[in-house]
């Protein structure tokens, strides 16, 4: 992994057809940008627009349909982004019928993966403790998302594994796998590579996660992270797959392998999901995401843009303050949203930042938050 820390930022953002937002172009500062406004004014929708550019989809909805403005057939988000010394123009257009167009510097690109590599973001959406308490998939995505940005060969290995797994599962499901298992060699080879990448990433992530937790909450600093690769570690993946062939055939799917991996979180020797309070789960989720962002920056994936949705509403002032402190020490660009209540604004008073006010879908730069 190379070690070039390249800061990536949004210079300007054009939004058209996103929820209640009027069609507009915003110019952001390279450091912290606070987007304040009343409930329902459109603050989270601005961040949603950014995640469309970053991943092709919204962080709030798996489908793009609810994001497209009522009465419109499509939405468009464009941005001028700065990556190290260069500036790029990127754009996405998504339609109600699933149409997708991606452009980089005016040229259409076919691959969403290629496009998504350009604008890495980390979303801190403090209500989403699912990352800690939910199914393993979200935690696998966190690891794989970081690897996608820092390890050039990762995507190809991941795709190859998924392809072979799909083919094998289809054959198992339809009961057409003969005495020979033609996939097992490829599955074991690509799966072991995939798992090796993940193990290295978790080694890198663990101390950073702990360090961030120490800042956020002393008592949580003993939280343990452990990667469960998805098969019995007393044997190789090839052996594990061979051992489970009979039950795979009987039940019609592949039981073991990196598609069953999990990043386990334990606190005081027990699963975090069972023993942490809601507030502690939120801090743990935030620490995981911040650690992911820092690893991406340090390992050459580019320092991501942090999208922080309404942190003051979900955390007490002392902890929200610590999260803001960590974000501001990061040298990254931050887009923060907040309701413009005096309590929320007190949190940001005194910090140098670019301010925006949102009212009924219209975002305007202001000198004072309200």
Ligand X SMILES: Nc1ncnc2c1ncn2[C@@H]1O[C@H](COP(=O)(O)OP(=O)(O)O)[C@@H](O)[C@H]1O
Give the CB-nearest residue to Mg ion: 44
The contact mask relative to ligand X for 54-83 (x = CB under 6 A, - = no) is: ------------x-xxx-------------
Closest separation in Å from C-beta 232 to ligand X: 45
Q: Which of 32, 44, 121, 330 binds ligand X (CB under 6 A)?
A: 44
Backbone torsion region of residue 283, taken as left when φ is above 0, otherwise alpha when ψ lies between -120 and 50, otherwise beta = alpha
353 secondary structure, DSSP code: -
Q: Which of 9, 41, 190, 217 binds ligand X (CB under 6 A)?
A: 41
DSSP H or E stretch at residue 14: strand 8-16
> Between 19 and 259, whose beta carbon lies closer to ligand X?
19
> Between 44 and 128, whose beta carbon lies closer to Mg ion?
44
Interacting partner of 146 out of Mg ion, ligand X, none (Cβ under 5 to 8 A depending on kind): none
Interacting partner of 293 out of Mg ion, ligand X, none (Cβ under 5 to 8 A depending on kind): none
For helices 278-298 and 184-216, the axis angle rounded to 10 degrees is 110
> Among the candidate windows 40-48, 194-202, 221-229, 273-281, which touches ligand X by CB under 6 A?
40-48
Query: Segment 34-53, which members bind Mg ion (CB under 5 A)?
Result: 44
> Between 71 and 135, whose beta carbon lies closer to ligand X?
71
Identify whether the C-beta of residue 353 lies closer than 8 Å to the C-beta of residue 33. yes
Closest separation in Å from C-beta 40 to ligand X: 3
DSSP string across 273-323 = HHHS-HHHHHHHHHHHHHHHHHHHHHTTS-BPEEEEE-HHHHS-HHHHHHH
Q: Which of 20, 24, 30, 242 binds ligand X (CB under 6 A)?
A: 20
Which residues, in sequence order, are CB contacts of 151 under 8 Å at separation 6+?
1, 197, 201
Identify whether the C-beta of residue 169 lies closer than 8 Å to the C-beta of residue 177. no
DSSP H or E stretch at residue 359: strand 354-359
Q: Which of 8, 26, 36, 37 binds ligand X (CB under 6 A)?
A: 37
- Assess 54 for contact with Mg ion (CB under 5 A): no
> Between 118 and 338, whose beta carbon lies closer to ligand X?
338
> Between 232 and 359, whose beta carbon lies closer to Mg ion?
359
Give CA–CA dist 300/147, Å, rounded. Answer: 10
Total of residues contacting Mg ion (CB under 5 A): 1
367 secondary structure, DSSP code: S
Interacting partner of 69 out of Mg ion, ligand X, none (Cβ under 5 to 8 A depending on kind): ligand X
Closest separation in Å from C-beta 355 to ligand X: 15
Give CA–CA dist 242/232, Å, rounded. Answer: 12
- Assess 42 for contact with ligand X (CB under 6 A): yes
> Between 48 and 151, whose beta carbon lies closer to Mg ion?
48
DSSP H or E stretch at residue 206: helix 184-216
> Between 35 and 172, whose beta carbon lies closer to Mg ion?
35
Q: 365 forms bridges with which residues in the sheet? A: 356
Identify whether the C-beta of residue 324 lies closer than 8 Å to the C-beta of residue 142. no
Closest separation in Å from C-beta 317 to ligand X: 20
Identify whether the C-beta of residue 199 lies closer than 8 Å to the C-beta of residue 259. no
Q: Write phi, then psi, for 235 (nearest 5 degrees).
A: -135, 165
Q: Which two tokens stand for residue 231?
A: 């098969």
> Between 61 and 222, whose beta carbon lies closer to ligand X?
61
Residues of this chain that interact with ligand X (CB under 6 A) are: 19-20, 37, 39-45, 66, 68-70
């Amino acid at each position: 992994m190379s070690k070039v820390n390249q800061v990536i930022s949004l210079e300007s953002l054009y939004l058209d057809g996103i929820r209640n937002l009027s069609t507009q172009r915003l110019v952001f500062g390279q450091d912290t940008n606070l987007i304040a406004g009343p409930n329902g004014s459109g603050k989270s929708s601005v961040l949603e627009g950014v995640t469309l550019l970053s991943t092709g989809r919204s962080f709030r909805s798996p489908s793009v349909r609810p994001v497209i403005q009522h009465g419109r057939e499509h939405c468009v988000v464009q941005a001028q982004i700065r990556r190290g010394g260069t500036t790029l123009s990127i754009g996405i257009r998504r339609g109600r019928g699933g149409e997708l167009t991606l452009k980089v510097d005016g040229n259409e690109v076919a691959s969403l993966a290629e496009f998504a590599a350009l604008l890495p973001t980390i979303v801190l959406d403090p209500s989403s403790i699912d990352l800690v308490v939910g199914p393993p998939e979200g935690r696998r995505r966190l690891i794989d998302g970081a690897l996608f940005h820092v390890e050039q060969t990762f995507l190809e290995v991941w795709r190859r594994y998924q392809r072979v797994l799909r083919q094998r599962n289809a054959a198992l499901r339809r009961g057409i796998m003969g005495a020979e298992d033609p996939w097992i060699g490829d599955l074991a080879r690509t799966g072991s590579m995939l798992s090796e990448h993940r193990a290295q990433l978790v080694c890198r992530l663990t101390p950073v996660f702990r360090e961030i937790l120490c800042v956020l909450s002393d008592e949580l600093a003993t939280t343990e992270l452990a990667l469960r690769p998805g098969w019995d570690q007393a044997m190789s993946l090839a052996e594990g797959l061979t051992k489970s062939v009979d039950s795979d055939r009987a039940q019609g799917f592949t039981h073991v392998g990196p598609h069953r991996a999990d990043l386990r979180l334990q606190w005081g020797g027990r699963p975090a999901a069972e023993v942490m309070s809601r507030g502690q789960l939120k801090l743990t989720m935030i620490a995981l995401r911040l650690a992911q962002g820092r690893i991406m920056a340090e390992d050459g994936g580019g320092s991501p843009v942090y999208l922080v949705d309404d942190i003051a509403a979900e955390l007490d002032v002392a902890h929200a303050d610590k999260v803001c402190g960590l974000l501001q020490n990061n040298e990254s660009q931050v887009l923060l949203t907040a309701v413009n209540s005096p309590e929320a604004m007190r949190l940001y008073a005194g910090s140098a930042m670019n301010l925006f006010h949102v009212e009924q879908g219209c975002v305007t730069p202001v000198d004072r938050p309200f």
